[in-house]
Amino acid sequence: MDVVYYLTEENKMAKNKRKMGIMAKLLLGIIPVIIIGVNVVSYVSGQMASNAILEETNEHMTAVLDGNVKDIDGQLDEVRTTAELLSLYVGDSYKTADMASFARFFKSVVSGNELISGAGIWFEPKTYTGGLSYAFMDYVGPYWYKDGANVVETWDYSNAEYDYFAQEYYRNAKAANKNEAIITDPYYDPTSNSVMATCSTAIINAAGEYVGCITVDISLDTINTMVGSIKVGRTGCAVMTAGDGTYIYSDDSSKVSGGANISADNNGLQTIASAIVGSEKGNAEYTGTAGKANAYFESIPQVNWKLILMMDNAEINEAATQMIGITLPIAIAVMVLCAVAVIVLARSISKPLVTVKAFAEELATGNFTVDELAIRRADEIGEMGDSLNEMYHNNRDIIANISEEAGNINDASSTLSAMSEELSAEFGRIQDNMVSVNEAMMNSSAGTQQVSASVTEVNNSVARLAEETERISAEVKNITERAHKVQQNSIAAHDSAIEIAEIREKELNEARSKATVVKEIENLANVINDIASEIDLLSLNASIEAARAGEAGRGFAVVAQQINKLATETAEAVHEIQGTIAGVQDAFQDLGASSEKLLEFVTQTATPDYSKFTEIGRQYGEDANLFGELSDKIAEMIQSIKVTMDEVNSAVANIANGTEETATRSADVTESVNSATSAIDSIAEQATSQMHTAGILTDIVKKFKLR
């Protein structure tokens, strides 16, 4: 009992060390998981939304970019086509057309296209022959340009000072030497305060010779206006640069007029300038003045100008940010509701557990007078309460039974002590009886050895009989062949007697003998003896029939003699078996064998005509078959005797083994009796000790309160 109280104190100390209840554990275990889960869901959904919006924005920006690039390329292509047409016109007519004709045509072209600000003809030295005054001039370069609503002709650029032969547009056209328009990089024209570009095309005469070039100056104001009108969302806007990154259009006109390059700008594009200049199209992220932004760019075909669309990332991610702003309060509300649910659930669990704890503490002190738990819940706590109530009732009943049975144990111990003394006396008498059993086992072993020797002798006789049976079977086959030959000779000699012979054969076939065999060995021997006698009678009948047959029956006489000899040998073997069996019956009374066979053979009186020989042949054939059947039956009976004798031999061996084992076991029993005697003495001592234990149990039970 001291140990029990010590463990109880240890348990109380362990309980006092617990500083965290179920509610705290549930809150600390579940709420963080909920918070992490909600945050992960919010983050993943925000990222997915952001990625989807970014992908959609990329597609939209790319579509806007493609559309505007196609518009700009279409306008530039119109200018290129105009320049190529002017080149063809001048190349075909420069030798005959006067300058006034060129002036009318070029003015109409300049005034009819909004993009074209001016156009000129730039001949090689001393090439134009449409007017005699220009035939020997090195510089023939009339230029027509817009001046308000009018188109004005000027020759200010047709001189050595300007030297149009050294200008980029002229060199480009001459290098190409074919009717293909080439647009130069844009440049800022301070006179018109606008960005311009020049489209030049070589003038090729009918002989395929280069005779000058056509220029069409492009005012990019219209294109820049179109670029400036590109707006996507609130922050999406566009700029356009030349192939090297120089600004063609920007909402900051000073960058255009100053020839600023995006690689030297300070608005963040300088960080991705190399990607823009080195790629045909794409997008890149950079940090602008307002934070992170995305730039989408694409090259305009043939001129390699870059149209760039820019948009702040804040606007791109605005929808995702709004979604996060909506889901975050929802997530917080969900976490608060989960916390409240956990608290309510924890209280619903902890309250009945406190009741269970108080009940268990009372039971731990041994107080079984408290009322059972009144917890009515359809969950694990309710099942635990039911289990504690069941344990309460079962333990109270067990302790009451221990109290009642302690006295019974004391009484039983006294009775057990008395019975131990009586058992000790009984085991003494058992020891004396076991000595007698051992002596009887020794005598039984000697008798078993004698029976085994007799069985061996019977087995030898059976083996000799089997050999004789095999020899009889061989002789029976010879008899069958001879009988068949006699029958065939009789039929061949007397065909006229066949019908009568068949009628007599049908009558004679009705007689047939049967043999029965009994299982006992003694009856088998008697049956074999009867068969031998029957065979002797058959041989006698065969001799009589052979005598009646005269010369034709001489062969049957020989067969009858052989049969008589076999019958005699069989009778001698049977007498030997009967003698051996008699010896076995004397040694082992319950040994028997069953083997019975009865053989009857019916013959008919031979008729005085030749049909008698046929009947005799057939009859001897049947007799031979019957001898064969008898031989087979004798062989079966011999085999049965052999099997039976093997079983007897096995039984004798088992008896011998059983006798030896019994002798061994009797020694073991004697030893066990001795051990049991010692054990009984120990039982007596245990009975005394048990009486003492019953007293201790009574003292222990008194410490529990049951009433």
Question: Going by C-beta distance under 8 Å and a sequence separation of 6 or more, which residues neighbour residue 522?
Answer: 578, 581, 585, 592, 593
Please determine, for residue 102, whether its predicted confidence score (pLDDT) is greater than 60: yes
CA distance 39 to 100: 81
pLDDT digits (tens, 9 = 90+) for 571-580: 777 677 777 7
Please determine, for residue 309, whether its predicted confidence score (pLDDT) is greater than 90: yes
Averaged over 445-455, what is the pLDDT? 62
CA distance 124 to 141: 9
Q: Which has the minimum average pLDDT: 31-35, 274-278, 420-424? A: 420-424
Instruction: Give residue 598's pLDDT band: very low, low, confident or very high (50, 70, 90).
Output: very low
Does residue 119 or residue 602 have the better pLDDT? Answer: 119
Token pair recorded at residue 278: 């080195």
Q: Counting Cβ atoms within 10 Å, is residue 554 exposed (0-12), middle (13-18) or buried (19+)? A: exposed
Quote the radius of gyration of the chain (alpha carbons, Å): 69
Please determine, for residue 399, whether its predicted confidence score (pLDDT) is greater than 80: no
- Shortest CA distance to 216 belongs to which of 184, 247, 177? 184
The confidence score (pLDDT) of residue 522 equals: 67
Does residue 601 or residue 185 have the better pLDDT? Answer: 185
**Strand partners for 297:** 282, 308
Q: Where are the beta strands (DSSP E) in 155-265?
A: 182-183, 187-189, 194-204, 210-219, 237-241, 247-249
DSSP string, 474-526: HHHHHHHHHHHHHHHHHHHH-GGGHHHHHHHHHHHTT--------BBHHHHHH
The confidence score (pLDDT) of residue 17 equals: 46
Averaged over 224-253, what is the pLDDT? 91
The confidence score (pLDDT) of residue 594 equals: 45
Task: Answer yes or no: are the C-beta atoms of 369 and 705 closer than 8 Å.
Answer: yes
Does residue 340 or residue 126 have the better pLDDT? Answer: 126
CA distance 196 to 608: 160
The confidence score (pLDDT) of residue 361 equals: 78
Averaged over 655-675, what is the pLDDT? 64
SS3 content of the chain, % helix, strand, coil (to 5): 70, 10, 20
Averaged over 677-700, what is the pLDDT? 69
> What count of other Cβ atoms lies within 10 Å of the Cβ of residue 500?
16
DSSP reduced 3-state for 68: helix
The confidence score (pLDDT) of residue 182 equals: 94
Give the CA distances from residue 393 to residues 4, 202, 355, in Å, rounded to whole numbers and listed in that order: 21, 117, 18
- Shortest CA distance to 240 belongs to which of 296, 286, 193? 296
Instruction: Give residue 133's pLDDT band: very low, low, confident or very high (50, 70, 90).
Output: confident
What do you get for the CA distance between the two ends of the chain, in Å? 21
CA distance 604 to 606: 6
Instruction: Give residue 222's pLDDT band: very low, low, confident or very high (50, 70, 90).
Output: confident
CA distance 395 to 401: 10
CA distance 664 to 637: 40
Fold observed for domain 230-316: Beta-Lactamase (3.30.450)
Backbone angles phi, psi at 239, to 5 degrees: -130, 160
DSSP reduced 3-state for 208: coil
Question: Going by C-beta distance under 8 Å and a sequence separation of 6 or more, which residues neighbour residue 311?
Answer: 57, 61, 232, 233, 235, 236, 237, 293, 294
Averaged over 294-318, what is the pLDDT? 91
Please determine, for residue 591, whether its predicted confidence score (pLDDT) is greater than 50: no
Token pair recorded at residue 183: 């647009």
The confidence score (pLDDT) of residue 518 equals: 39
Backbone angles phi, psi at 178, to 5 degrees: -160, 165
pLDDT digits (tens, 9 = 90+) for 476-520: 677 677 767 756 766 775 665 566 556 656 755 664 554 444 356
User: SS3 string of 136-155?
Assistant: CCCCCCCEEEEECCEEEEEC
In this prediction, what percent of the chain has a pLDDT beyond 70?
67
Instruction: Give residue 205's pLDDT band: very low, low, confident or very high (50, 70, 90).
Output: very high
